[in-house]
Structure 1
Amino acid sequence: MFLRERQEEIARLVSAEGRVTVTGLARRFDVTEDCIRKDLRQLEAAGALRKVYGGAVSVSSPPERSVIKRVGAHSAEKRLVAEKAFDMIEPGETIFLDVSTTNLALAELLSSGTKHVSVVSTMMGILRVLARNPALEVLGTGGSVNTELDGFMGSMTLACLRPLRFDRAFLGGLGVDVESGEVTTYLWDDAQVKQLAMANSSHCLLMVDEHKFGAGGSYVYAHVGDFDGIVTNRVTTELASAVEGLGSTLV
């Protein structure tokens, strides 16, 4: 396949699928990853896509803001992240789960498991799932309801969280920039909740599947180095090295 044909096919794939990876494209076209990276740079310069860590995304496909609409997306990857996080939790701990579809997967594991823990959450869907297991001590913060996020936020939420202390906080993010280390979300109110939970936690874990690396949001709420670990579904040598360089560890 000629260069122009390959780049046209790459642009078509990005438009159709929303995201492609360097590794996947190299296998598909039987060329080196360096060759694909050069293709992506040229296509980005032409405005056909946006390069992100490990691949590229469509310029017309920003991350979905609505939590409800994201629940079914990348479910297998989120389940793997949730399983890793579940293994970290010790019986008797008090943990915090913020508004996150990956944390919803973790809540499903807690609900069907036998670990006796106390869970505080700002996400209504998580609270409904956890309520199935009477062995769990569950606290919903209350506050102003944001239907887009399926959760609570605002001054009442912060007032509830302020005196609480957590053994572990599991936090989501809409995007992680592994060059700058910025971890983002869309809403300032959501950022405030995440920041307060981090300040009140002995251990902070970022819950993101591989599709979040390179994606973006409107507000930077933390730096990669602020987390004790980045829990993700696929650990590569390149990504692990980048995260370690920013002061954290991939799990």
Structure 2
Amino acid sequence: MFTEERQERILKLLREQGKVYVKELSKAFQVTEDCIRKDLKTLENGGHLKRTYGGAILSQEYPLERDVIDRRNYHLDKKKVIAKKAVGLIHSNETIFLDISTTNIQLAKLLAQSKMKIFVVTNMIDILQILAKNPLITAIGTGGMMYQTVNGFMGATAIEAIRQYSFERAFIGSCGIDMTDLSVTTLGPEDGLTKKAAIENSRHSYVMMEREKFYFNESYKFTHLDDVHGIITDENPDSTIIKTLESAGVHLY
């Protein structure tokens, strides 16, 4: 098998599984582990994957730090699937929190079209504008330090506002899960501490994320999966991750 053909097959496996392991690839292609490591390095240099300890994961198709305006239509079909699952958990007369998240924008659209009478607190301006269209919904913005890149509020003032409420449910965005310790991650402390406050003040909290984010993690760990009710995703991850989540008692929606 030529090197290029082997690397194409590695990428195919990555797209199907989300993650590959050096030992398994070595056995599958009947080449040395060093040979596989060279393949992974070549593919990483080409921007196709990100090497991890013992293997590799798919490279992100866009940098997570891009403005929320740029991310609204990214994986839109998957976000709509997640939002549809989430809206099914919400009942009339509940007080809920919607975090800064492009998936929560889709959830807000479904709520705005519903006939539920609910009270919504959010730190995202897009969500406030959407919910304002439905007179049955009472929408409250947290206020606080405005961050243009996410079109929302984060930091001490937003956190203080969040702590004044008791939420039945909180729907929290994520940049990925660190599967080594089952922590939920985001880009920085301002966002992370704001999310953490919402989780701490909610009876039920849910992490909203696409399947691919099981294979990524960012720099700031803001909560642990023990502290959330479950993960709402568009599609289940591979069996290895599912077993890990089941062992930890994490519910997948």
Q: Same fold (TM over 0.5)?
A: yes
Q: Could you tell me how far 1:149 is from its partner in structure 2?
A: 1.2
Structure 2 counterpart of 1:247? 249
Structure 2 counterpart of 1:168? 169
SS at the partner of 2:252? coil
2:176–2:186 contact (8 Å) kept in structure 1: yes
Inter-CA distance 64–189: structure 2 relative to 1 (3 Å threshold): closer
Structure 2 counterpart of 1:180? 181
CA distance in 1, matches of 2:116, 2:167: 16
CA distance in 2, matches of 1:236, 1:144: 36
Inter-CA distance 128–41: structure 2 relative to 1 (3 Å threshold): farther
Q: State, as a whole percentage, how many aligned pairs show the same letter.
A: 34
CA distance in 2, matches of 1:51, 1:80: 29
Q: TM-score, normalised by structure 1?
A: 0.83
1:65-84 alignment, distance < 5 Å: 65-84=66-85
Number of corresponding residues: 238
SS at the partner of 2:250? coil
CA distance in 1, matches of 2:60, 2:142: 37
Structure 1 counterpart of 2:39? 43
Structure 2 counterpart of 1:21? 15
1:136 and 2:137 aligned: yes
CA distance in 1, matches of 2:150, 2:36: 33
Inter-CA distance 25–96: structure 2 relative to 1 (3 Å threshold): closer
1:65–1:186 contact (8 Å) kept in structure 2: no
Which ranges in structure 1 are unaligned for 5 or more consecutive residues? 27-31
SS at the partner of 2:88? helix
SS at the partner of 1:22? helix
Inter-CA distance 92–188: structure 2 relative to 1 (3 Å threshold): same
2:18–2:57 contact (8 Å) kept in structure 1: no
1:181–1:223 contact (8 Å) kept in structure 2: yes
Inter-CA distance 141–79: structure 2 relative to 1 (3 Å threshold): same
Inter-CA distance 169–148: structure 2 relative to 1 (3 Å threshold): same
Q: Could you tell me how far 1:163 is from its partner in structure 2?
A: 1.5
SS at the partner of 1:21? helix
1:98–1:122 contact (8 Å) kept in structure 2: yes
Which ranges in structure 2 are unaligned for 5 or more consecutive residues? none
1:9 and 2:8 aligned: yes
Inter-CA distance 24–138: structure 2 relative to 1 (3 Å threshold): closer
Q: Could you tell me how far 1:7 is from its partner in structure 2?
A: 3.3
Q: Could you tell me how far 1:51 is from its partner in structure 2?
A: 4.6
Structure 2 counterpart of 1:87? 88
1:171–1:205 contact (8 Å) kept in structure 2: yes
